[in-house]
Chains A and B, each alone.
Chain A
Amino acid sequence: MTAVTVSGKARGVPLIDGIDKVTGRARYTADLDHAGALIGRIFRSPVSHGEIVRLDVSKARALDGVVAVVTGADCPHTYGVLPVAMNEYPLARERVRYRGEPIAAVAAVDAETAARAIGLIECEVRELPAYYTSAQARAPDAVQLHANKPGNLEREVHHEFGDVKAGFAAADLVREAQISCAEVNHAQIEPHACLADYNPLTGRLTMQSVSQVGYYLHLMLARCLEMDTSRIRIIKPFIGGGFGARAEVLNFEIVTALLARAATGKVLTKLTREENFLTHRARPQTDIKLKLGMRGDGRLTACECEVVQRGGAYAGYGIVTILYAGALLQGLYDIPAVKYDGYRVYANLPPCGAMRGHGGVDSRHAFECLLDRMARELSLDPFAVRRANLLEAPTRTLNDLMVNSYGLGECLDRVERASRWRERIGTLPAGKGLGMACSHYVSGAAKPVHWTGEPHAAVNVRLDFDGGVTALTGAADIGQGSSTMVAIAVAETLGIALDQVRVIAGDSAITPKDNGAYSSRITFMVGNAAIDAARKLKSILTGEAARKLEARVEDIECIAETFRVGTGGQASLPFIDVVKAALADRGPITVSGTFTCPPEAQGGKHRGGAVGSTMGFSYAAQVVEVSIDDATSSVSVDKVWVALDCGHAINPLAVEGQIEGSVWMGLGQALSEETHYVNGLPAHASILEYRVPTMAESPPIKVEIVESHDPNGPFGAKEASEGALAGFPPALVNAVANALGIDLDELPVTPDRIHQALLERRRAKRLAAVQEALS
């Protein structure tokens, strides 16, 4: 791919839909025109695990104002993510497996009637034993949640690369850690909502939803409603945050479509915040056993890691998550041997799913914590230990991940300098500490979930009489700025002003299919497809300009909306004149650009090798400074320095925002966010009890953008939205260790956990003193 020069003018622009959002013009799903829409509402299981003995919806159906009631009997099809692991019904049939699982749903003329109807549904469940921890669910005598999953294991992964035994034998220091990370949730600001409109005359269904994956929603609706895909249209309104919460099709979307068809009309379903937490699909509670071997100079010799994820009641993304947790042990550092054992466990809790930094965050946390502990033992600086293990691009990791660009070394240099690490480490007053860690993330999964043989991304670019360029993309802008990225890619390639490009995104009737907003794939894949489309359009226009200017095509350039001949040439034509000439020839123009990840990017041949495979990794390093209150043991983060290698910042303003967002989300997981179930009931299911950090906790974040120019990236770009997340929790825990001399094995680092650790240390010291006195 030839290098594209990105001129100054389009760099660092506000998101093209930003003004609509901040002025309130943007319409989110709940704001759509739902005149005449019925209100959908879901009846949910009150028990954790059991067989449905009796379900009677007749009273609900008979209630005045109720138009439709649907149950599991209305949909005999499962849905899910991987074709091999679709084990969830939109409405439970025969068995329920977690408290809050949808069993039936009603559509009524208003919310009050719908609520009353839900109260009239009678459901009898014969309870089965329920399991709320991985250990309970894996106990030998535990009842199986799913008939085909013995041991309540969704997937076991056993990978070994290199000679692990020899690696540990060659080490000067071998240490282990057992680290446990609480389950967290995306807590996106906009609650789930969708509006389904079924036209009984045409047999067509239009679905507007908060989905990050309109294409998969399209497929699942067709599957569950037994409809032809051509009769379904999916439209994505403005979306108030995704983070993975909507990276898979959600039960309420299918349920609402079932209701709309049953009611032969329009149904709006808005979930409460509690229902958002019950829908969940976020990062699982994870237990990690990690063993690392290190030479005296900090060079890693081997890594052995066991990960147990409590995945909840259904598969969802589970297999992918447990594979990521192992695959992403690699790709950041050069490790000669890696053994990974992963266990994805079923439990009677809301299903987990994908969440920002999917799969890699918790095992990275354990890795970076243990790395620091060992560095301390060997009297090595944390930066030196990371530097001793850098990769050298281009390379392939042991598990066959492709690394073509690698800016981690520069990230380390930048944050070390910016934080004045060398001057300050070890000199801070009592109760203050500095910590650091690194992380990385894929720029899109190189192998899509559903293999179709089609390109991995497609963008259409249209040109008509008005002279405006319209980019059509199925890519879901969920606030991350992907539509702006597409606009910049097209404008830069064509040599026209950014506001000459209009982006229409996420309407299956108009825009080309896109796999969706997950695994940070859009910039790399859709960006390349957008450039490809714009180049095709450019070649048509350049040809036209050459004809009009009587010059050779290769001498034509378009800069600032003017076509010119060569350098210094006088002859020029305004963009619009060239457009008119082109249209006169061939009528309105639509070109298609595509991008496909080459086979060598699609991972190793081992089972599960596709997960983790990508065109390129982003790399990040960060330093966190903390203060710990000696009365309450609460941690405050004073400052964060973070550097991220995103290849090339197509829109530095958006990149900076995404890095800050990643750090901030990592901060939440590190400091205060956790779910807490009481016999399977979420005690955390509100924005009050699920403690997302507030402005009061938000530290100044100094962002440094590193550009390693990936040879295959659009303008050299890679992902920028997830890579910096995983480094935050370990940097914080390392900073706490620096401040207090205590190594914490649990996330989040709440004051009661620190308090407890301090008590235990005091107790251990006393005990040691007593033992010494006795001996």
Chain B
Amino acid sequence: MSGLLPDIRIVRPSDVAAAIAAREQHPQSRFIAGGTDLLVNMRHGLIAPQSLIDISRIDELTTIEMGAAGLRVGSGVTVAALARHPAIARDYRAISQAANAIAGPGHRAMGTVGGNLCLDTRCLFYNQSEWWRQANGFCLKRDGEICHVAPQGKRCHAAFTGDLAPAFLALGAEVEIAGKQGRRRIPLGDIYVEDGLAHLAIAEDDLIVAVHLPPTAAASAYAKVRLRGAVDYPLAGVAVALGVRGDSVASIRIALTGTNSRPFVLGGTDALIGRPLSERSLQQIEQLVQKQARPMRTTIASAHYRRLAAAASARRITAALYAEQSG
């Protein structure tokens, strides 16, 4: 309940290499850009870095480039800048819709693409004040032994709730990561693992520099399930990228957020390729979502509802994207 920020050293490197070096030099440090997730968690006593490496002023991170090779979005680009980019809205609509669905205008102005991709997982037993968590005996994710969501289990079930990740995943994104060993590009999906306690599979001093998207012929959309039309994190979020040739599905990729400890691409949709999208296909999509989405009681809204609403949303936007592109 203290709500106070501890004394923190702020370091402001001018380029990516200096940022990596600073992260190494200051052991109890974290990267910070918009701070919309990090500062709230610091006030709740969930994390207690001694130094913050402020990467918000590194030019390389704040550009959006679009060309024949596709799209490159710097990790420091604000959600608001992403949301209002006209070419992204045209060619990668799911990205634009997801960006517009994030929190409120103030958060979008401050929050960044990298921050949203690396958002901490959330749970109603975790995102509480220190007083609250202490009174509840803490939890597996922080300071405690058991997961209150599934006390019999051995893992943390906190849910990933970033809106951008599923949109990027559906469109086949790769992330460009800078680390001690230099730079590398890996599929975005590879940075996530199904563990609420440690859902990011990149080294602490790795810095996501940019997200790359290939050019695409697929149309895409993002649907967010939430109680309010603004502010809320997704109870479930679904992005779909669907390519259509003639009347047949040429490509389909569906990705989810909010339901599991990581955002993920729905498996088993390849079977829908090469034929028209039928009622049967839509039922299959609903079944796949219902099977693979594993919401737990990490939110006040029921887990059952989140799974069914995710499935219904996947069905709806897939059907809409198909209708839009076929005959």
Where the two chains meet, the residues of A that have a C-beta atom closer than 8 Å to any C-beta of B are 44, 46-47, 99, 111-112, 115, 118, 272, 274-275, 630-634, 636, 672, 674, 676, 678-679, 681-685, 688-689, 691, 693-697, 750-752, 755-756
Contacts and interface: CB of A to CB of B under 8 A. Distances in A.
B229 A750 contact: no
B308 A694 contact: no
Given A691-B228, A694-B104, A751-B309, A115 B136 contact: no
A112 B6 CA distance: 8
Interface residues of B, number: 35
Interface string B231-245: 111000000000000
A103 to B, nearest CB: 12
Nearest to B314: A631
Interface string B112-134: 00000000000011001101101
18 contacts: A44-B131, A46-B134, A46-B135, A111-B4, A272-B1, A274-B131, A630-B312, A631-B316, A632-B309, A632-B312, A634-B227, A678-B148, A682-B132, A683-B124, A685-B128, A689-B300, A750-B227, A752-B305
B228 A697 contact: yes
B135 A696 contact: no
Contacts of B125: 678
A679 B316 CA distance: 38
Contacts of A756: 302, 305
Given A632-B313, A752-B305, A697 B229 contact: yes
Contact of A631 (B3, B134, B312): B312
Residue among B1, B125, B309, B313 with the highest chain A CB neighbour number at 10 A = B1
Given A272-B3, A632-B312, A678 B124 contact: yes
Contact of B132 (A111, A274, A672, A693): A274
A696 B230 contact: yes
A697 B223 CA distance: 17
B308 A755 contact: yes
Interface in B270-327: 300-302, 304-305, 308-309, 312-313, 315-316
A755 B227 CA distance: 13
Interface of B: 1-4, 104, 124-125, 128-129, 131-132, 134-136, 148, 223, 225, 227-233, 300-302, 304-305, 308-309, 312-313, 315-316
Interface of A, helix, strand, loop or mixed by DSSP: loop
A512 B308 CA distance: 60
- Leading 4 A-B pairs by shortest Cβ distance: A696-B229, A752-B305, A46-B135, A631-B312
A105 to B, nearest CB: 13
B119 to A, nearest CB: 14
Given A47-B135, A681-B132, A683-B300, A115 B2 contact: yes
Contacts of B305: 751-752, 755-756
A750 B2 CA distance: 32
Contacts of B230: 694-696
A685 B301 CA distance: 15
Nearest to B124: A683
A755 B225 CA distance: 13
Contacts of B309: 631-633, 751, 755
Contacts, number: 91
B1 A681 contact: no
Residue among A634, A678, A751, A752 with the highest chain B CB neighbour number at 10 A = A752
Given A685-B132, A755-B308, A756-B302, 15 more contacts: A44-B131, A272-B1, A272-B3, A272-B129, A274-B132, A631-B223, A672-B227, A678-B125, A681-B136, A691-B228, A693-B228, A696-B229, A751-B225, A751-B301, A752-B304
Contact of B225 (A632, A676, A689, A694): A632
Nearest to A674: B300
A500 B263 CA distance: 64
A274 B129 contact: yes
A112 B227 contact: no
Nearest to A119: B2
Nearest to A759: B308
B135 A751 contact: no
Contacts of B1: 44, 272, 274-275
A689 B126 CA distance: 13
Nearest to A696: B229
A752 B1 CA distance: 30
Contacts of A683: 124, 128, 300
A93 to B, nearest CB: 20
Contacts of B315: 631
B17 to A, nearest CB: 36
B232 to A, nearest CB: 7
Contacts of B134: 46
A752 B299 CA distance: 12
A118 B2 CA distance: 9
B135 A688 contact: no
Contacts of B233: 688
A678 B127 CA distance: 13
A678 B148 CA distance: 10
Residue among B125, B300, B313 with the highest chain A CB neighbour number at 10 A = B300
Nearest to B316: A631
Contacts of B104: 694
A111 B4 CA distance: 8
A118 B304 CA distance: 40
B302 A752 contact: yes
A630 B223 CA distance: 14
A47 B136 CA distance: 9
Contacts of A682: 132
A99 B135 contact: yes
A424 to B, nearest CB: 25
Contacts of A46: 131, 134-135
Contact of B227 (A44, A118, A272, A691): A691
B287 to A, nearest CB: 16
B140 to A, nearest CB: 16
Contacts of A631: 223, 309, 312-313, 315-316
B301 A752 contact: yes
B136 A679 contact: yes
Contacts of A99: 135
A678 B297 CA distance: 12
A693 B226 CA distance: 12
B124 to A, nearest CB: 5
Contacts of A274: 1, 129, 131-132
Given A683-B124, A685-B132, A691 B232 contact: yes
Contacts of B229: 636, 694, 696-697
Nearest to B306: A752
Contacts of B301: 750-752
Contacts of A672: 227-228
Contacts of B225: 632, 751
Nearest to B309: A632
B132 A751 contact: no
A756 B125 CA distance: 25
B124 A115 contact: no
B227 A751 contact: yes
Contacts of A44: 1, 131
A13 B155 CA distance: 60
B228 A681 contact: no
A466 to B, nearest CB: 45
B231 A689 contact: no
B228 A696 contact: yes
Nearest to A752: B305
B318 to A, nearest CB: 11
B45 to A, nearest CB: 10
Nearest to A695: B230
Nearest to B311: A631
A748 to B, nearest CB: 9
A697 B302 CA distance: 21
B149 to A, nearest CB: 11
Contacts of B148: 678
A112 B132 contact: no
B310 to A, nearest CB: 9
Contacts of B304: 752
Nearest to B302: A752
